[in-house]
Chains A and B, each alone.
Chain A
Amino acid sequence: MTDAMIGLVALPLTGALATLLLPRSATAVAVGTGLATTVAAGLLLFGVATQGALHYEIGGWNAGLGIALRADGLSALLLMMTSLVVLAASVYASAYFSADSTRDRFWPLWLLLWTSLNALLLSGDLFNLYVTLELLGLSAVALAALGGKRAAVAAALRYLLVGLLGSMMFLAGVSLIYAGYGTLDLAMLRRVVEPGPIAWTALALMTTGLLLKTALFPLHFWLPPAHASAPAPVSAVLSALVVKAAFYLVLRLWLDVFANVVTPVAANLLGLLGASAVLWGSWRALQAERLKLLAAYSTVAQLGYLFLFFPLLLALPPGPTRDLAAGGLVMLALTHGFAKAGLFLAIGIIQQRCGHDTIRDLDGTAQHLPATTFAIALAGVALIGLPPSGAFLGKWQLLAGAVETGQWLWLLVTATGSLLATAYIFRVLGHAFGHRPYPNQPVTVAREEWPALLLAAMAALVLGLAGAPVWKLLEIGI
């Protein structure tokens, strides 16, 4: 079972090399690698569920001297989500790219991106996290610029520079930690870190770097153009997974490694920024002219919700209420991952078939792309937070926690944000439903529409109805 951890990194990396060396069979190799990696993620999830938190010391050296990989309930769940989303997007991408040259460039970079996501989620060493962050950033930028259109390249360049700034700040924090504590291993640090100038400064530096990468308001300016101009499968993964990875690191650092260093004041600051993100992102999404821009701003807003949990989790005393809230956070993160990916894939189909993604000119797409519109509707349900989506469970926990701790502001923000989300989703659906007769064939291009449908269904139905295991798994901490 612990070998699955190595498999999760080695399989996509080997696949990347294979697709580089065998461009003609690249698609088959890539999808095959995707299936294998997903199986490994499933094995890991099973292993964590049955055996508890797992760890693997690379090279056989004790953690500290070498680098350790660690998996607990949180990371195993995120790894499973990553695998399913990337697999679905890979199937979609196999039909999306028409030009040979773009396709040849796409697969190796795509699999390298997957490698970096898995490596980041599994890493148990601070400097190794820096390297995985850089790998993630570079592969994401290279994919975002694929196709070479001016808007995409400009947005990718800005993304790269912002990302580099973030990485440098993260590395400064890591260096300070090594200077102060002499170790880079996360488990060891959890035991020795104490509140003080070193821990505060290092955490502030690392968090700022990560907030740049997770696009939390007001450091979100780079996200909408980058996600809106990238090719559809890339946008799906960028919004659903890449920004989520940086958020996962903030979560891991604040609630796990530096748990006794964080203060409620700092958590409130994160909460306020999250609230601003929810309101600003939802408002801009409502004003957006293009579907992709709407989806990108929606990501900014949804990430804000995730940060609203921080002040709650710090205010609640350890116990069942806190565990429920933490589960709600993860459920919201997972649901958004699936929903946003499904949404972007569906928008990609519309963009290819209709030639544009302007919302106002969408009349009647529901009629000739019914499966796609249904996928958008399902994703919309999950983004608004209607039952039975997983987001409903997550937001419910958010509201319950806000009531419990008396932090009414978050209640107000969540309600307003959900209302705005309802508005912008219904605006899209309103334009999508015209008055033309219903076609005979619901699904037009299977390889593109099934992934979008399945992802959206996962978010809107499966996670909500079968969500109890999430809470159980989260009890398995590192």
Chain B
Amino acid sequence: MIAINNYLILSAILFAIGTIGVLTRRNAIVIFMCVEMMLNAVNLTFIAFSRYLGNIDGQIFVFFVMTVAAAEAAVGLALMIAFYKNRESIDVEDINLLKL
């Protein structure tokens, strides 16, 4: 029986790495992938807690998170395609129409 702390620390590490990825990379799709990783880290936390509390609610929540992530993936990628059509690039630094 592995203590819950291990799972939680692992989840934290994954989340932090995801954050670093969001703030560091330039490619929009890679940024999106890092966001997915952050979501997954949270999912792991939920399921760990669900197991150790004996409550099924955590897993239901994960279910919904996955659904939302799927929807978000669809829309986000469609957005990037639309953006690519305009600019011929998906570099985040090129999304700067609101620049001073």
Is A bound to B? no
Question: Which B residues fall within an 8 A CB radius of A?
Answer: none
